[in-house]
Amino acid sequence: MKLDFEQVREILPQKYPFLLIDEVIELDPGKRIVALKNITGNEQIFVGHFPKKAIFPGAYIIEAMAQAGILLWSGGQPSDKSFLFSSVKMRFLVPVVPGNQLIIELNMVKQVSIGGIVSAVAKVGDKIVSKGELTFAAM
């Protein structure tokens, strides 16, 4: 299953300027998702992070992963649930900068009615820029 930007926007509770998924290129509900975030130089965050060398914040990478997790958990369908982080374990290996396309890959480790655990990898091209695990609750 694939989701374009308009479909993603209808499903996710986050809205501009905090909607961080541009497209879903692969979705196997409850199992795996591959999503894209295009990093552009005109994003508001780059005014202050950092003025002399734009670097996409690690917290935003985690948030993009979390938004992909919502899409994965909900099977690409709208949900009336609210989603909250329970824990995050993440490593950042390479900076992400304007012009990059962030590829977010999540695999469901465990899913229950009240949340789940996903393994997460973010790449630019074939290079891993971040990897870890997210635990979240659906209320």
Q: Active site includes 49? A: yes
- pTM score of the predicted model: 0.95
Residues 55-113 pLDDT 10s: 999 999 999 999 999 999 999 999 899 999 899 999 999 999 999 999 999 999 998 88
Question: With 90 as the cut, is the pLDDT of residue 121 above it?
Answer: yes
For the chain, give every domain's residue range.
5-138
The answer to whether the CB of 107 falls within 8 A of the CB of 127 is: no
Report the distance separating Cα 60 and Cα 20, nearest Å.
8
Among 7, 19, 28, 49, the active-site one is 49
Q: Domain 5-138: which CATH class?
A: alpha beta
The answer to whether the CB of 61 falls within 8 A of the CB of 129 is: yes
